[in-house]
Chains A and B, each alone.
Chain A
Amino acid sequence: MTAILELLSAICLLLGSVLCVTGGVGLLRMPDFFSRVHASGVTETLATPLLLMGLALQMEWSLDLVKVAMILILVLATNPTATHAMAKATLHGGQRPLVFDDVKDTGGEGSSKP
């Protein structure tokens, strides 16, 4: 039983780390603000609960486990909200997402202002 739990915990932690790295790569390589915020939002909203679950599988039933569960739920709720808020604020600020026709028309510049 412990071996299965450890294996599951290791898989969760590994998957979480891989997702985090993927999110980081996406943050750096994406061409536009909106795609960047989408990349980091989606990957990190999955990665953090995976990492937390990997940690939780290694703990015994205690108050700390309840706290980890609460953090997990909180992150699941607030990370997408923060992404939404960022995207909405940027839209309000005047930037528009980089769209395919713009790339074709203006040779890759797009409509994103600096």
Chain B
Amino acid sequence: MIAVAAIRLSDLFAVVMLFGVYSLLTAALFMDLDAVDVAFTEAAVGAGVTTVLMLSSLHLTKRWEALPRRSPVLGLLVVGVTGAALVYAVLDAPGLGDPSAAVHQHVTPRYIEQGQAEVGMPNLVTAVLASYRGYDTFGETVVIFTAGLAVLLLLGIQDDPRIRPGVSAIGDQVVLRSVVKVLIPLILLYALYVQFHGDFGAGGGFQAGVIFATAFVLYDLVFGDGSARAVVPPGWLHRLAALGVLIYGGVGVYSLLAGKPFLDYSVLAHDPVHGQHLGVLLVELGVGIAVFSVVLLIFYAFSGRGRRR
């Protein structure tokens, strides 16, 4: 219903708000399906950062959606055919929680029964994400890095002379500054907690990186455009993003040099379980650093461009 409303509205400002609400509801839906880590990431990214990024991009473009100039019949036909094909494919998939599904026969019992013993952490999601399927997570991190690269190549971070750090767009605001001054250290602390608590509860590198970046975005929004840029220059972020991917790949290469397959963590310490734990810690750190720098870079790229006035 929210999606239908978002499509039908032509006021893009309201659409961005609806997207935020949609993300929050999806996060609640994920919680209902017992997928806490995914819900956490969806809430942090969807209802938090992307709303700000979309508002920044809205500031650069128009607020009202342009009327379509062509008839939508061809587009409707393509969407209808694709949708029908997808629905037909989904009908073949096993039901939710079906115990006789193929994935529940061999792989899932192995993860559930031996995950804690092999990887040494109670949070099976992090164990699967970072250790059993660490290669896929490496791909995700590289995708995030590539997205940051694409934004930098297409938009670039401009040194706009109209940016004045310290002057906020809506004038002097004592209340916001005081509250945000207290909140930002707490947000940063919470991000660190999420990063390192991913082994035991919901958390991990992706959520922590996003929350860490959110603190800087908040600082930039309240204390004036460009003030975050004075604290964390874009040059640092370029290197940090590369460093994140490098840490992740470096762990894999180290395993290769030690004679084991790529991203096999058991060689990192004196015994395999400790090695797994150390490996997961390192790769989550790499993910967190990469996500933080890319999100902040994208925010710089959008918010630093000249105003239309």
Please list the residues of chain A having a beta carbon within 8 angstroms of any beta carbon in chain B. Answer: 74, 77-78, 81, 84-85, 88-89, 92
Contact B171 A78 (CB under 8 A): no
Closest A residue to B173 by beta carbon equals: A88
Residues of A contacting B171 in the complex (Cβ-Cβ under 8 angstroms)? 92
Docked complex Cα distance between A81 and B183 (Å): 11
Shortest CB–CB separation between residue B219 and chain A, in angstroms?
A: 14
Contact A77 B170 (CB under 8 A): no
Interface centre among B169, B171, B173, B182 (most CB of A within 10 A): B173
Interface flag for B1 (CB, 8 Å): no
Contact B179 A78 (CB under 8 A): yes
Docked complex Cα distance between A18 and B180 (Å): 30
Contact A78 B183 (CB under 8 A): yes
Docked complex Cα distance between A71 and B171 (Å): 30
Residues of A contacting B77 in the complex (Cβ-Cβ under 8 angstroms)? none
A-B contact pairs, 12 of them (CB 8 A): A77-B179, A77-B182, A78-B183, A81-B175, A81-B179, A81-B180, A84-B175, A84-B176, A88-B170, A88-B173, A92-B169, A92-B170
Docked complex Cα distance between A93 and B183 (Å): 26
Chain B stretch 221-270: residues in CB contact (< 8 A) with chain A = none
Docked complex Cα distance between A84 and B180 (Å): 13
> Which 5 A-B residue pairings sit nearest by Cβ, starting from the closest?
A92-B170, A81-B179, A84-B175, A89-B170, A85-B176
Chain B stretch 171-199: residues in CB contact (< 8 A) with chain A = 171, 173, 175-176, 179-180, 182-183, 186
Please list the residues of chain B having a beta carbon within 8 angstroms of any beta carbon in chain A. Answer: 169-171, 173, 175-176, 179-180, 182-183, 186
Residues of B contacting A92 in the complex (Cβ-Cβ under 8 angstroms)? 169-171
Shortest CB–CB separation between residue A29 and chain B, in angstroms?
A: 19
Residues of A contacting B183 in the complex (Cβ-Cβ under 8 angstroms)? 77-78
Docked complex Cα distance between A89 and B179 (Å): 16
Contact B170 A81 (CB under 8 A): no
Residues of A contacting B186 in the complex (Cβ-Cβ under 8 angstroms)? 74
Residues of B contacting A81 in the complex (Cβ-Cβ under 8 angstroms)? 175-176, 179-180
Docked complex Cα distance between A84 and B169 (Å): 15
Docked complex Cα distance between A70 and B114 (Å): 35
List 17 additional A-B contacts (Cβ < 8 Å) besides A78-B179, A81-B180, A88-B170.
A74-B186, A77-B179, A77-B182, A77-B183, A78-B183, A81-B175, A81-B176, A81-B179, A84-B175, A84-B176, A85-B173, A85-B176, A88-B173, A88-B176, A89-B170, A92-B169, A92-B170
Docked complex Cα distance between A85 and B175 (Å): 9
Docked complex Cα distance between A81 and B174 (Å): 11
Residues of A contacting B175 in the complex (Cβ-Cβ under 8 angstroms)? 81, 84
Closest B residue to A91 by beta carbon equals: B170
Residues of B contacting A84 in the complex (Cβ-Cβ under 8 angstroms)? 175-176
Docked complex Cα distance between A74 and B186 (Å): 10
Residues of B contacting A77 in the complex (Cβ-Cβ under 8 angstroms)? 179, 182-183
